[in-house]
């Protein structure tokens, strides 16, 4: 989550692993995916600064986690994972070179959509995640789960708390923004009348968590990150109509939209 701190990465991995037996595979795949991105970047002599900062690793790491979120471990699943981890690394490098906006997690999203479709077509066994416990709305639970869902882990508050600690180790302001984003996502989902169980799972909060930090890094303020959080929730509400897994697409689109508004403001309302 935009943190260049080694201990943060260790805590993220631990937070994923405590999500259950299937999540252990996700954590391992995240590490392998990150290594894959680093190896590809070094072999192709990508920007050494980006290599040292781990920029080449996070999209393939997410691809690895998503692979074993959707599918049980198998040779075909592992093959898809490695192939699309490499593809995500190459796509991210191309975007950084040729597109004037940050790629964020767009390479992960695009590659995972294709990977998921391929896995379904190949008949890979899906992971049977336990059904959420049905109970009334719990905003505090929704906020914590909004943090854990950033890495596709739902139904485990310990993961969310570990993730929050991981961010705070690197930057306490980013941790506060993450909580703010999760709160905005939960409150707007309640206002919209979304199902309590979905709100509690953090499904409307995790993209807001990401976009608040991303936009703050671009323009340190409160208004721009809040706008990004609101836009991400609106996009999340409509995403089921596409028939695609939302993943972090609402975050990417919201962050790009806020940056576009910022550029338009500078062009039409010069100071």
Q: Which CATH superfamily is domain 139-268 in?
A: Ammonium transporter AmtB like domains (1.10.3430.10)
Q: Residue holding tokens 């590809």?
A: 40
Task: Kindly write down the DSSP assignment for every residue of 164-210, as one continuous string.
Answer: HHHHHHH-HHHHHHHHHHHHHHHHHHHHHT--HHHHHTTTTTHHHHH
Give the percent of the chain with pLDDT over 70: 95
In tens, the pLDDT along 178-218 reads: 999 999 999 999 998 888 888 988 899 999 999 999 999 99
Q: Which two tokens stand for residue 36?
A: 């894959």
d(CA 86, CA 93): 11
In tens, the pLDDT along 74-92 reads: 999 999 999 999 999 999 9
Residue 267 has pLDDT above 80, yes or no: no
Residue 33 has pLDDT above 90, yes or no: yes
Domain with CATH 1.10.3430.10 in the chain: 139-268
Residue 35 has pLDDT above 70, yes or no: yes
CB 143 within 8 A of CB 179: yes
């Amino acid at each position: 989550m935009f943190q260049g701190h080694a201990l943060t990465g260790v805590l993220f991995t631990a937070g994923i692993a405590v999500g259950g037996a299937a999540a252990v595979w996700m954590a391992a795949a995240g590490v392998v995916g990150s290594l894959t991105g680093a190896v590809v970047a070094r072999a192709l002599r990508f920007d050494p600064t980006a290599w040292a900062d781990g920029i080449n690793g996070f999209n393939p790491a997410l691809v690895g986690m998503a692979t074993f979120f959707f599918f049980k471990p198998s040779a075909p699943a592992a093959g898809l994972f490695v192939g699309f981890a490499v593809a995500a690394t190459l796509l991210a490098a191309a975007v950084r070179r040729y597109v004037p906006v940050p790629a964020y997690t767009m390479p992960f999203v695009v590659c995972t959509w294709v990977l998921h479709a391929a896995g379904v077509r190949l008949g890979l066994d899906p992971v049977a995640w336990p059904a959420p416990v049905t109970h009334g709305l719990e905003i505090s639970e929704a906020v914590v789960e909004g943090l854990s869902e950033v890495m596709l882990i739902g139904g485990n508050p310990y993961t969310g708390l570990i993730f929050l600690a991981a961010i705070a180790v690197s930057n306490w302001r980013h941790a506060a923004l993450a909580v703010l984003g999760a709160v905005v996502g939960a409150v707007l989902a309640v206002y919209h009348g979304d199902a309590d169980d979905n709100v509690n799972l953090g499904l409307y909060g995790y993209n807001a968590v990401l976009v608040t930090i991303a936009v703050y890094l671009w323009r340190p303020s409160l208004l721009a990150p809040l706008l990004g959080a609101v836009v991400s929730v609106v996009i999340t509400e409509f995403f089921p109509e596409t028939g695609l897994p939302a993943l972090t697409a609402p975050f990417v689109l919201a962050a790009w939209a806020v940056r576009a508004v910022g550029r338009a403001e500078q062009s039409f309302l010069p100071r």
